[in-house]
Each structure stands twice: as C-alpha cells, then as structure tokens.
Structure 1
Amino acid sequence: MKKENLHVTIAGGGSTYTPGITQAVLNNLDRFPMTKLTLYDIDEERNEDMLLIIDYMLKTTGHDDIELNATLNPKEAFTGCDFVFSQIRVGGMEMREKDEKIPLKYGLVGQETCGVGGFSYGLRSIKGLLGVVGFVQEYAPDAWILNYTNPETLIAESIRRAYPKAKMINACDMTISIEETMARNFGYDRKNWICQYYGLNHFGWYTEIYDKELERDVMPELIEKLKKKPMKIASFNKGDQSWQDAWNKLSKILNLFPDYLPNNYLEYYFFPDIVVEETDPNYTRANMVMDGRLKHTKDMANEIRNNEDGNILDFDFGEHGQYIVDMATSILNDSHDRFMLILPNHGAIPNLRDDAAVEIPAYVGRKGAEPISMRHNIPDFHKGLMEAQNAAEKLLVDGYFEGSYQKVLQAFTLNQTVPSADKAKLALDDLIIANKNYWPELH
C-alpha cells in the first residue's frame, strides 16, 4: 500500500455529509496525504452541487492543489483509487419518505433503519452496495472500502456472502454521536474515553465508559445523570426536535433498565406503540431532512453559483467525518487505533451465534479490523433481543439472495417492532410496489 499521493473516492459524493468528511481529511493531511478526491454518485444534480461546494472549500482553505473530480462513471470513479468512503442512499430521500410513511399506515414504526422501513431500505442498500463493491473489485481491487451506508448489519452480512475477500470495514457513527452528546452535556472529553459496547447496529449497550484522565468508569454516573434529566441536543443536531425526542426516550429506557447504557435507537423496539402515536404520518423525519439539511446544502451551492460573499459554508456534523478519516489513517499507518465496528461475531460475544454481524470494539491496522473479545457471556435479556433481531436480519438477507417472498415476510414478522403477521404482510405488499425499481423480484 502506498502512503503518499492518496486517491480517495467518495461513493455517494452528493451526500450532505461529504463536506464534513472532506474537512476532516484536510485537517489530517499530515497523517493522510490525499492529493486526489473523486465524488461518485448516480444523482448528477446533487453531485454537481457538491462539486461546487467542495471546490469552494478547497480554494478558500488553501488546498486547491488537490485534484478534484465528480463523475457518474464507476470506471472513472474507482480506477486507481486507494480508499473508498461509501455513504450511498439508494432511492434518496424520496424512498426514505416511503419507508417511513407506508408502515405508519398500518400502525407500525416508520423509521430509516429500524422496523420494516429499515428492512425496506436494507433491501435497496444491499443491491446498491453490492454494485459499489463489485466496481471496486473490478477497478481497484487493492482499495480499502470504509462503509457508512445503512443499515450496517444487513450490508455487512450481504457483502460477507457475496465478496468475502473484499477489503471492507463497516462502521456506524451513532455510537460516537451518543458519546459526543453525553460528553458535551455533562462536561467530559470523549477523547479520554475507552468504551466497552456490544450489540447489533443501532441495537446495543455500553457496559463501561472508562475515562483515562479521571481514571474511572464514568458510565454509572452518566446513567444516574440521564435517569434524572435527558440530554440536550448538541450543535451538530441543532434545531432538530426529533433528536431531542430521542434523548428523552433514552432517559425513559434507563429508568426501566438502568444496568447498562443503551443505544437510543432501542426506543423503536421497546416503545413502538408510543413512537407510532407520537409520529406525524404526514410529516416524518425524511421531510425534516429535506426541509433542513438538504435545502441548506442546496442553498449553499446556489450562493457559490451566484458568487455571493460572506461565510457561505456552514457545517457542523460532529465527529462523523473525523471517524472515517481516523479509520483510514489507522489502516494507512498500521497504528491499531480502536473503533466501534460491525464485524462477524466469531466468538467475540461467547453466547451469541458465531456468524452474527455484531457491533463491537476493534483495533484497526494494515490488515483491517481485529475484534476485541467480550470474554464473558451477555445477559439473557440482551441476548434474547439480539438473537431475534439477528435472525430477522439473516432471513431478510436470505430473501434478497434467494428472491424469496416467504423469507422476507418471515423477516418482517420477526422484526420486534411488528406485533402481527397480518400487519407485516400488509406493509410488505405495499413496500414491494413502492420499491419495484429497487428490490429484487420476490416470488
């Protein structure tokens, strides 16, 4: 692997998260010397908007010596690249809106990565990521793929089956978002934390948060603080009431189950009836993003087109971009830094099935991820929840590769946000129609 003149391709280059990733690279050029950046997307308008924004960013920060390209052609995008940062959203926000609103018709959770909406998105994402990984294997087989595309456990399971030798690491930034929000709320420095965590993607628990500076596990005191008072949203979620609702429910979970600190996404599995009741079926999270982050990004691109003055670039995405750049740097320099990743279990959680795709701490170096073993069994409550959800995910992936309506229906029915097989079938049949251009044919 070369260590200079790196070529990075961002798959899903038109994403609103691309500026945060780019800025993180620019802040770390001494450790990660990128000289070429390619934005790859299938949405030409969004990719062109982002090309304007990133070009403006490079010029105004004194990095216009970095070669910048945008393309819809996979051969141009991936040939000769060293790292691929993947953040694709198959179907865009329009399909996310359907993932959220169709389940709500039947009193089911409508959410991007959880419930049957998450499974709907998963079937689209599997196809999209298999395509990206296939292109990378063809045009840049030695490149590392660092994947942010959701739903992560479904992606990890699918790529493991189709491309077992792909140099790919699956990571989710939700754990660091939780950690950063807690740290900012309660006066800690997240960079001092060593976290023990296990689960599936968006479905897990912290068992320890050791603070190196304070020389103690701060998780018990965090739990007590959160039980008494929910967190306030951090600046990277500013103005987004849905995140405040999430932190409120995190405190609710802790008052019921205070032994471990949960991922806030467990609200969809513990309180699906409450979530449905509190959700406006006509204006869901997808609409909030379209009216917020997407519009904001479009406005910035137009300001650049119109040669407007002032502080045009206005982004705060927390640690999202830094996390993926830190992973790439750890691979490049073989530094074995520690990250929360989605990996095959292989005994890391001793009393969970060996082939489960789990989210656990791991060290990352030149040969990829080395998972850290829990070295003890997890509680039956968590194990039972995880086993059911993992079985549902595996059935969904089976259904994708086999084109099996029956297995996808089983997956929908087993999903723990779904109270009835009848509702699972109603939602599935509607989602098949909505996803006719994206899902495999089920029979």
Structure 2
Amino acid sequence: MSKGLKIVTIGGGSSYTPELVEGFINRYEELPIKEMWLVDIEEGKDKVNIVAEMAQRMWDNSPYDVKVHTTLNRKEALKGADFVTTQFRVGLLNARVKDERIPLSYGMVGQETNGAGGIFKAFRTIPIILDIVEDMKKLCPDAWLVNFTNPAGMVTDAVIRYGKWDKVIGLCNVPVGAMMAEPKLLDKTADELIYSFAGLNHFHWHRVHDLKGNDVTSDIIDKMYDNDSGIPANIHDIPFLKEQLKQMNMIPCGYHRYYYRYEEMLDNLLKDYNDPTKGTRAQIVKQTEAELFELYKDPNLNYKPQQLAERGGAYYSEAACETIASIYANKNTHIVVSTKNNGAVPDLAPDDVIEVSAYVGASGAKPIAFGSFQPAERGWLQLMKNMELCVEEAAVTGDYGTALQAFIMNPLIPSGETAQRVLDELLIAHKDHLPQFAEKIAELEKSGITVKDEVARELK
C-alpha cells in the first residue's frame, strides 16, 4: 500500500494512546502509517484533543510525516481504514468504580474483568463493538480489527460469534509482561526461551522451554518465590501455592489469584474498599489518569512519560503494534492472542475464542497446538468458557435469566439471593448503558431496588 496506512483508534482519548503511538513510531520502517484517526465520544472530547496534540508532537519529534486526526464521528474515521484498534470503556472510569464497589459492598470480589464487574463490563461493551463491526462492514470491509477493550476474550468472541467478522484479533498485555519478566529469573533473554500459552483472556496458563527443548517451567516456578514475576500493577502480589504450581507444571496468569487465592485477594480488596483514603483500584486509576492528562497538556512533552506504566497498561504497544506490523508484513511472529481455537485446545470447541500462542501473519492468527489440560485446569477452563458464552448471549439478547445463569456459574460470585441482588443493583447503576435490559431495569426500579453503596449510587 504505497499510499500509506490509515489507522483508526476507537477510544482514542484513552491515556493508553501514547503507548500505541510510541509502538508505531518504533515500527514505522515496516509499518508505513500515513494517518492516525483518534475517535471518541462527546464526554471524551477534551481528553481526545489533549491526547491528539501530544500524539502529533510525538510524530513530529520522529523522522516520519504522519498526521493525527480527531473526530467524534466514528463513520468519518472508519472510511477506508486499513486497521481499526479498539480501547474504549463504556461509561468511562465511573462505570468501573460501580463494577468494583457494588459487589464489594456485599462482600464479593469487585474487579474490572473478573466476577460481577467483568460480566457487566461485557454487558456494556459487546453491543457497542457489534455496532462498530456493522460500520466496518460498510466502510472498511478489508480492515483488520485489533481489540484491546476488556474483557478482551469475550469481546473478541462476540465479534466472531455474533458479529460474523473473522478479521479480528484480541490482545492483552499480561502475556507480554510475563515474557519480559520471567527470562530474567533464569538469567536469560526472551529469545533464549520458547513460550506456550493457552486458556482464556485473563485466565491462561503457560509453559516454557529452552532452545534445546528442555522444560524450564519448574525452574521459573522455583525462582518466582524470590523475585518479581511480572504481576500487573492492578493485582495484589499474593503468592500462588507452590505445591499447586508444581503439580500442574504450568504458570498461571496473574489474574488466577482471584480464583486460586480467593480468600486472600478478597480480603485485600475489602481493605481497600473500606479505606476512605484509598478506595478501589478504579478510584486510584482515576487519580493516576488525571495526573497523566496534566502531563499530556505540556506543550513540550513529545514522548511517552514513565508514569504511564503505573496505569497498568505497560507493554500495550508491544502487543498491539507488533500484531498490526505482523499482519501487514506477513511476519508470522509468535504473539499471544485471543482467536478461534481451531483445535489448539481439544478441551474446548473449535469455534470458541481462546487466548493462545499463535503465529500472526497476513491471514491472521494461526493458533499453535497446546493439547489437552489435566483435570483440574480442564474443569476450570470449561466452566469459565461456558460462563463467558452465557455472558455474551445475555449481552446480545438482554435476557435476564441468562445473565443470572452467568452470575450463578461464576466462581467469584457466591450463588443465592445475594448474587441476584448484586445483579439487580448493577443493572440499575448502569441503566444508561444497558438498553437491552431496559424492560427489566424498569421493573426493578418499580419494585424499589436501589444501589446500596453510597459512592456508586452518587456516580452518574
């Protein structure tokens, strides 16, 4: 494409965008971008303008002539796009505060992509991503959709299953973090190790071999108990039970702590929730983000600030930009992605979207066979995937019974009347972004149900 590439980023006003720009600048020689379009909504207008000005300064500080555009009109941006990246948050950070605080007010895990909060993020996000796909079918039918919007696995699955759009790859920075941190534990570099990932987004495991084919997973497990193992900034550093990891001979992702160390993780979340000087992770992120945007306003800032790593999105560009470069240049790079299973994990259906090691090239992601899991991990995987499928169906149909099924299946939500109460409160709290549940929400409000948590109740 000698004309140069058109990249569209939906949710362009995100504080993550400088990560993306840095990644594109570093790869320009293999990814000749001509224009970047940053798309946002009216509520994000100020932020997207701040980010766009900074992004333009970053490009102007590089040797490359790239123009950054902003728009609140998604269709204007999508016309003729080559790649579309998505990193939006329906309801902004106030919605995340509700996702965390309402479950915690009932003594259950409140987290962005896990438990009740993760389910509701999917309820709000999936209808929007499907609308985006419909626009892409008309305006840029040859474009690739690269999704970073959480919960990335469910969102990507919904794009394929309900949107009927196969040119999509879901991404997460968690595997990148592991592959950057773990080699140091063995005094090696990443290119001296072979990684094999499989599972679901925020619910995967991995094995590691050296270049002679020796399994060094157990060696890394031993070292993990003395060193930094690349845990994301938004997860409490509670060690896994070593005997469990040794038995499975795999390394779980950081988010497995919510399932393998439920009591300890919940205890930490509740301490933060009950501490008025701290609050939940979303409340901390709101402060971090406000500080970042003050930095971004600086007319002399033309590079990604170090503080962005504290936001929890470190290495985003490594995943997103490398994926786009690999598709464009047919590099067949090893990247951990959310894509169709196609037999890589026989424990799940071929059409199920999984997070897996894959070779990414011009035809998309080709998952690398991982094989079947042992009974413990197989049981977790099948439960979680089927729970996700219920979430997706409820997000598309607005069926309350299906939403309740997902809540009762989820291991982080104790089943019973309290689970239903949390479901009902979250529906009411997010009513402006859940038109598919409008009839049920009206019924709940008529019955007198209100949001218990005062902070969540006051947020608009």
Q: Same fold (TM over 0.5)?
A: yes
- For residue 170 of structure 2, give the secondary structure of its aligned residue in structure 1: strand
Counterpart CA distance in 1 for 2:292 and 2:152 is 25
* Deviations 1:107-158 (CA, angstroms, capped at 9, x unpaired): 1101000111100111111122112222222211111111111102211221
Asked whether the 8 Å contact 1:53–1:300 carries over to 2, the reply is: no
- For residue 420 of structure 1, give the secondary structure of its aligned residue in structure 2: coil
- For residue 298 of structure 2, give the secondary structure of its aligned residue in structure 1: helix
Residues 1:302 and 1:328: Cα distance change in structure 2 (over 3 Å): closer
Residues 1:285 and 1:324: Cα distance change in structure 2 (over 3 Å): same
Residues 1:270 and 1:121: Cα distance change in structure 2 (over 3 Å): same
Counterpart CA distance in 2 for 1:328 and 1:233 is 24
Percent identical across equivalent pairs? 28
Match of 1:333 among 324, 329, 333: 329
Counterpart CA distance in 2 for 1:372 and 1:432 is 39
* Residue 424 of structure 1: how far off its partner (Å): 1.4
* Residue 323 of structure 1: how far off its partner (Å): 1.9
Match of 1:386 among 361, 368, 381: 381
Asked whether the 8 Å contact 2:113–2:121 carries over to 1, the reply is: yes
* Deviations 1:378-399 (CA, angstroms, capped at 9, x unpaired): 1010111111111111111111
Residue aligning to 1:430: 425
Task: Report the residue type matching 1:272 in the other structure.
Answer: Y
Task: Report the residue type matching 1:73 in the other structure.
Answer: N
- For residue 8 of structure 1, give the secondary structure of its aligned residue in structure 2: strand
- For residue 252 of structure 1, give the secondary structure of its aligned residue in structure 2: coil
Residues 1:373 and 1:256: Cα distance change in structure 2 (over 3 Å): closer
Asked whether the 8 Å contact 1:253–1:267 carries over to 2, the reply is: no
Residues 1:310 and 1:403: Cα distance change in structure 2 (over 3 Å): closer
- For residue 159 of structure 1, give the secondary structure of its aligned residue in structure 2: helix
* Deviations 1:314-364 (CA, angstroms, capped at 9, x unpaired): 455643202211111111122211211112223221233333321111111
Structure 1 residues 193-232: aligned runs within 5 Å: 193-206=193-206, 208-212=207-211, 216-226=214-224, 228-231=225-228
Asked whether the 8 Å contact 1:133–1:166 carries over to 2, the reply is: no
Q: Size of the alignment, in residue pairs?
A: 424
Residue aligning to 2:390: 395
Residue aligning to 1:286: 282
Residue aligning to 1:295: 290
* Residue 78 of structure 1: how far off its partner (Å): 0.9
The question of 1:357 aligning with 2:353 is answered: yes
* Residue 4 of structure 1: how far off its partner (Å): 5.0
Counterpart CA distance in 2 for 1:168 and 1:233 is 27
Of 14-23 and 125-134, deviating more is: 125-134
What TM-score, normalized by structure 2, do the two folds share? 0.86
Counterpart CA distance in 2 for 1:48 and 1:97 is 24
Residue aligning to 2:47: 46
Match of 1:256 among 234, 244, 257: 244
* Residue 233 of structure 1: how far off its partner (Å): 6.0
- For residue 441 of structure 1, give the secondary structure of its aligned residue in structure 2: helix
Task: Report the residue type matching 1:254 in the other structure.
Answer: K
Task: Report the residue type matching 1:256 in the other structure.
Answer: Q
The question of 1:420 aligning with 2:415 is answered: yes
The question of 1:12 aligning with 2:2 is answered: no
Structure 1 residues 120-131: aligned runs within 5 Å: 120-131=120-131
Counterpart CA distance in 1 for 2:244 and 2:367 is 31
* Residue 366 of structure 1: how far off its partner (Å): 1.4
Counterpart CA distance in 1 for 2:302 and 2:315 is 25
Asked whether the 8 Å contact 2:240–2:260 carries over to 1, the reply is: no
* Residue 80 of structure 1: how far off its partner (Å): 1.6
Unaligned segments of structure 2, at least 5 residues: 441-460
- For residue 142 of structure 1, give the secondary structure of its aligned residue in structure 2: coil
Counterpart CA distance in 2 for 1:15 and 1:174 is 19
Residue aligning to 1:114: 114
Of 315-324 and 169-178, deviating more is: 315-324
* Residue 311 of structure 1: how far off its partner (Å): 7.9
Unaligned segments of structure 1, at least 5 residues: none
* Root-mean-square deviation (Å): 2.2
Task: Report the residue type matching 1:270 in the other structure.
Answer: Y
Counterpart CA distance in 1 for 2:267 and 2:50 is 37
* Deviations 1:81-110 (CA, angstroms, capped at 9, x unpaired): 111121111111110111011100111101
* Deviations 1:156-209 (CA, angstroms, capped at 9, x unpaired): 221112222342111222111122232345543224332112111111211x21
- For residue 9 of structure 2, give the secondary structure of its aligned residue in structure 1: strand
Counterpart CA distance in 2 for 1:158 and 1:80 is 24
What TM-score, normalized by structure 1, do the two folds share? 0.90
Counterpart CA distance in 2 for 1:147 and 1:193 is 27
* Residue 367 of structure 1: how far off its partner (Å): 1.4
Residue aligning to 2:148: 148
Asked whether the 8 Å contact 1:145–1:169 carries over to 2, the reply is: yes
Structure 1 residues 51-130: aligned runs within 5 Å: 51-63=52-64, 65-130=65-130
The question of 1:370 aligning with 2:366 is answered: yes
Counterpart CA distance in 2 for 1:142 and 1:353 is 27
- For residue 107 of structure 1, give the secondary structure of its aligned residue in structure 2: coil
Residue aligning to 1:408: 403
Residue aligning to 1:266: 256
Counterpart CA distance in 2 for 1:254 and 1:3 is 53
* Residue 34 of structure 1: how far off its partner (Å): 0.5
Residue aligning to 2:30: 31
Counterpart CA distance in 2 for 1:369 and 1:114 is 25
Asked whether the 8 Å contact 2:348–2:382 carries over to 1, the reply is: yes
Asked whether the 8 Å contact 1:400–1:440 carries over to 2, the reply is: no
Asked whether the 8 Å contact 2:391–2:402 carries over to 1, the reply is: yes
Counterpart CA distance in 2 for 1:394 and 1:309 is 44
Counterpart CA distance in 2 for 1:192 and 1:9 is 35
* Residue 278 of structure 1: how far off its partner (Å): 1.2
Asked whether the 8 Å contact 1:254–1:261 carries over to 2, the reply is: no
Residues 1:380 and 1:37: Cα distance change in structure 2 (over 3 Å): same
Residues 1:281 and 1:344: Cα distance change in structure 2 (over 3 Å): same
Asked whether the 8 Å contact 2:338–2:354 carries over to 1, the reply is: yes
Task: Report the residue type matching 2:242 in the other structure.
Answer: L
